[in-house]
């Protein structure tokens, strides 16, 4: 599918998109890094891995008030989902105690909640669900065949196990990956096949374009042809027709025209707010202006 002429691929994606979604509505999620840096894992793309010298300083878990203030600000800007990210390999019971408090407080504001905390152990997903968590983000990142070239400190099956725990706890699954890491087109297709074959497919599928951060092993490689990125979005849309496909990391470096092509290809969610976890994201003003020019509305909470 990824090799179709671009016009044919976009037409298929648009057709599928319109069968399941309002093509002019895009969901807005805001990210907050609640615990930054110092991570024990070796993910080759990640500025938060302790072993790479990227200038990201390790900081402890943020206090509840600070998280709540950021959530209120996100809500005031128009975000409907608030996603809390922590640079953990796997949270400890004590970490879960604190994060569940945050989830409760954010959910009480009327925001949808999402957390991404690494691998979950027995009972963690259930506790998060009880606290009011709506989504758990845990990415497959890439195809199984390429995975070993990017991460060695946990394997593909570990990820699938966490995803199963999340699903069994009744949480919505947010699961996607990263492109632009030197993978082949067939490997991009392989990632999408893994995602689409999950039963059921993830409700939310973030497609990240690698943000190259100096000091990480993947910095300095050739960047992905932007049309290949658009093709990946279109194929995600076609293979996961009822999922939200999120145009995720990498938007800061994209032109307005490239982002518009991604929306045409079926992307219907973005990270909104001037910061991802440790790297910049487009300013909210720039996104609002782009939406106005394209006739896109932010999706209301549902
Ligand atoms: N530590 C937890 C984990 O790995 O599951 C949660 C946070 S982790 C930063 C969440 C996701 O961010 C990763 O799985 C990866 O897909 C994405 N990510 C991290 N660094 C990135 C980068 N430089 N460019 C694009 N995506 C990135
Ligand atoms: C996802 O798929 N992308 C987000 C979110 N899930 C947690 C993270 C992107 C991180 C980009 C690099 C950074 O800002 O540190
Ligand atoms: Fe740690 Fe997550 Fe970064 Fe991997 S992606 S190094 S697990 S913060």
Using alpha carbons, select from 109, 108, 125 the residue that is nearest to residue 117: 125
- Cα-Cα end-to-end distance for the chain: 32
Give residues (CB < 6 A) around ligand 1: 45-46, 48, 85, 87-88, 116, 118, 138-139, 141, 178, 208, 210-211, 213, 249, 277
Adjacent-strand bridge partners of 173: 136
**Ligand 3 centroid – CA 47 distance (Å):** 8
Mutate to test the pocket of ligand 3, among 89, 117, 140 (most ligand atoms within 8 A of CB): 89
**Torsion of Cα atoms, 93 then 99 then 104 then 110, to 10°:** -150
What are the pLDDT digits (tens) for 134-155? 999 999 999 999 999 999 999 9
Q: Would the pTM count as exceeding 0.95?
A: yes
Contacts 24+ apart (CB under 8 A), 283-292: 284/77, 290/256, 290/259, 290/260, 291/26
Mean pLDDT of the chain: 97
Average pLDDT for 87-104: 97
Contact 118, 88 (CB under 8 A): yes
User: Hey, whose CA ends up nearest to atom 21 of ligand 1?
Assistant: 46
Mutate to test the pocket of ligand 2, among 32, 86, 204, 249 (most ligand atoms within 8 A of CB): 249
Mutate to test the pocket of ligand 2, among 29, 138, 178, 206 (most ligand atoms within 8 A of CB): 206
* Ligand 2 atom closest to residue 56's alpha carbon, by position in its atom list: 15
**Torsion of Cα atoms, 214 then 145 then 266 then 272, to 10°:** -30
* 255 upstream amide cis, omega within 30 of 0: no
Residue 149 beta carbon below 6 angstroms from any ligand 2 atom: no
Q: Is the confidence at residue 51, as pLDDT, over 90?
A: yes
Residue 30 beta carbon below 6 angstroms from any ligand 2 atom: no
* pLDDT at residue 301, rounded to an integer: 73
* pLDDT at residue 300, rounded to an integer: 83
d(CA 209, CA 178): 6
Q: Is the confidence at residue 302, as pLDDT, over 90?
A: no
Which ligand number lies closest to the CA of residue 91? Answer: 1
Average pLDDT for 256-271: 98
* pLDDT at residue 122, rounded to an integer: 86
d(CA 188, CA 95): 34
Residues 6+ apart with CB under 8 A from 101: 64, 131
What are the pLDDT digits (tens) for 6-19? 999 999 999 999 99
What are the pLDDT digits (tens) for 184-219? 999 999 999 999 999 999 999 999 999 999 999 999
């Amino acid at each position: 599918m990824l090799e179709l002429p671009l016009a044919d691929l976009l037409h298929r994606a648009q057709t599928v998109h319109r069968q399941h979604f309002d093509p002019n509505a895009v969901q807005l999620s805001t990210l907050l890094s609640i615990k930054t840096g110092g991570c024990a894992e070796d993910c080759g793309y990640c500025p938060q891995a302790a072993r790479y010298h990227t200038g990201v300083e390790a900081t402890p878990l943020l206090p509840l008030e600070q998280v709540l203030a950021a959530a209120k600000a996100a809500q005031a800007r128009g975000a409907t989902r608030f996603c809390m990210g922590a640079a953990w390999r796997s949270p400890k019971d004590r970490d879960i105690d604190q994060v569940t408090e945050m989830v409760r407080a954010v959910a009480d504001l009327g925001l949808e909640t999402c957390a991404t905390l690494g691998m979950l152990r027995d009972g963690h997903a259930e506790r998060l669900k009880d606290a009011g968590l709506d989504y758990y983000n845990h990415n497959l990142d890439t195809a199984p065949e390429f995975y070993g070239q990017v991460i060695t400190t946990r394997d593909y099956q570990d990820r699938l196990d966490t995803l199963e725990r999340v699903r069994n706890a009744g949480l919505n699954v947010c699961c996607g990956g990263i492109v632009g890491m030197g993978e082949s087109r067939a490997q991009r297709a392989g990632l999408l096949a893994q995602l689409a074959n999950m039963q059921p497919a993830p409700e939310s599928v973030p497609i990240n374009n690698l943000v190259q951060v100096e000091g990480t092993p993947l910095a300095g490689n050739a960047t992905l042809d932007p049309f290949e990125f658009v093709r990946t979005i279109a194929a995600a849309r076609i293979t996961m027709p009822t999922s939200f496909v999120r145009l995720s990391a990498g938007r800061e470096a994209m032109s307005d025209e490239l982002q518009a092509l991604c929306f045409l290809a079926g992307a219907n969610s973005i990270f909104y707010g001037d910061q991802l976890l440790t790297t910049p994201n487009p300013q909210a003003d720039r996104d609002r202006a782009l939406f106005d020019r394209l006739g896109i509305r932010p999706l209301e909470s549902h």
